Amino acid sequence: MVYSEGVSGAVVSVLLTWVNCSSVRWATRVQDIFTAGKLLALALIIIMGVVQICKGEFFWLEPKNAFENFQEPDIGLIALAFLQGSFAYGGWNFLNYVTEELVDPYKNLPRAIFISIPLVTFVYVFANVAYVTAMSPQELLASNAVAVTFGEKLLGVMAWIMPISVALSTFGGVNGSLFTSSRLFFAGAREGHLPSVLAMIHVKRCTPIPALLFTCLSTLLMLVTSDMYTLINYVGFINYLFYGVTVAGQIVLRWKKPDIPRPIKINLLFPIIYLLFWAFLLIFSLWSEPVVCGIGLAIMLTGVPVYFLGVYWQHKPKCFNDFIESLTLVSQKMCVVVYPKVDGDSGTEEATSEMEEQHKPIFQPTPVKDQDSEEQP
């Protein structure tokens, strides 16, 4: 069973990577279709829950039953529950990765977040209310796919709708993650923190193929973990660690550089509240699951030697730079990719030298003195 799930997950990742490499428009259309299918399925679940409540089937919604303790309360388990539950709401952060591809991002990015977070909260909360009208908490915990079990109980011959909806939801989640996370690697390479080939795009399709392939490879490596909850703990702990550091950085910048341009402004109270919740979440999650969270922290720290080797160490041997340059050239030929043209420039020498200087600390060989003068007639 675990083997078949791993193989199917790998096939889905490879297929959606091919779609994203082929066309940005295809990727967004696939995302729109899968998201619409998922929302329609959740709307069906909510409607069935309302029907159940109208029939008087709300035993587990009554306060005396809903708040009954099935085990001793533990602050660490509560924090871990928040960590796992927040995984469903983690999509709010992905849109920030593709701001360069948004139309009028300073206007549309806040609007998308303000619309999506309340909508997702409403849909997920009422979907869970619908679940407990047909299933006990013990059945919810025992089910591998709650929506499928719910459909088997209430939809009868139409129960096949739920497995298809779960598959659509999974496809949409993987597609959205590939589309947005690849842009994160693309931006990191452009800033000189990753191999320069990851900052290249296809000459005709304008898709970041190397970054997408790297994202797909990272996704396939995650499939070595068969326990879904352990994987969620890994990803959730690392994600929220970086979320907190990022939000703290906004507060520091507000204090140290108060006059820099800020097209999107928020009240400082919101990041402070977030940091307090973030500290509670991580500290007690680490207390509850020290091994799992510790492994997640160790995975994150593996980037430290890579940083010192690739970024901090600037005076690398010529053989190392030659090898990286050859590897980059081969990757360019295989993926048919080049550096994107800088906006407002027509490929002049100034833009080219700026791009080379940006990538030089890691992977570009040290330029030879008077090279430009030697090439000129």
The token pair at 244 is 């907190």
Give the Cβ contact number of residue 207 at 10 Å: 22
* pLDDT of residue 354 exceeding 50: no
Give the Cβ contact number of residue 198 at 10 Å: 25
* pLDDT of residue 32 exceeding 80: yes
Mean per-residue pLDDT, 319-327: 87
Mean per-residue pLDDT, 5-33: 83
pLDDT in tens, 239-282: 888 888 888 988 898 888 888 888 888 888 888 998 888 888 78
Of the candidates 38, 67, 53, 49, the one whose C-alpha atom is nearest the C-alpha of residue 127 is 49
Poorest-confidence range of 179-188, 202-211, 236-245? 236-245
Nearest 5°: phi and psi at 57? -90, 75
The token pair at 1 is 């069973």
In the prediction, which pLDDT does 268 show? 87
d(Cα 81, Cα 60) in Å, to the nearest integer? Answer: 19
* pLDDT of residue 359 exceeding 70: no
* pLDDT of residue 199 exceeding 50: yes
Mean per-residue pLDDT, 74-89: 76
- Tell me the C-alpha to C-alpha distance, in Å, between residue 169 and each of 34, 61, 162, 164, 250: 6, 27, 10, 9, 33
pLDDT in tens, 142-186: 887 888 888 888 888 888 888 888 888 888 888 888 888 888 889
Q: How many residues does the chain have?
A: 377
Report if pTM > 0.85. Answer: no
Of the candidates 213, 250, 206, the one whose C-alpha atom is nearest the C-alpha of residue 101 is 206
d(Cα 307, Cα 302) in Å, to the nearest integer? Answer: 9
**At 374, is the pLDDT very low, low, confident or very high (cuts 50, 70, 90)?**
very low
In the prediction, which pLDDT does 366 show? 44
In the prediction, which pLDDT does 211 show? 92
Give the Cβ contact number of residue 123 at 10 Å: 16
**Cβ–Cβ under 8 Å, residues 24 and 206:** yes
Beta-bridge partner residues of 337: 202
* pLDDT of residue 365 exceeding 80: no
**Cβ–Cβ under 8 Å, residues 98 and 179:** yes
- Write the secondary structure of the chain as one string of H (helix), E (strand) and C (coil): CHHHHHHHHHHHHHHHHHHHHHCHHHHHHHHHHHHHHHHHHHHHHHHHHHHHHHCCCCHHHCHHHHCCCCCCCCHHHHHHHHHHHHHHHHHHHHHHHHHHHCCCHHHHHHHHHHHHHHHHHHHHHHHHHHHHHHCCHHHHHHCCCHHHHHHHHHCHHHCCHHHHHHHHHHHHHHHHHHHHHHHHHHHHHHCCCCCHHHHCEECCCCCCHHHHHHHHHHHHHHCCCCCHHHHHHHHHHHHHHHHHHHHHHHHHHHHHCCCCCCCCCCCCHHHHHHHHHHHHHHHHHHHHCHHHHHHHHHHHHCHHHHHHHHHHCCCCCHHHHHHHHHHHHHHHHHHCEECCCCCCCCCCHHHHHHHHHHHCCCCCCCCCCCHHHHHCC
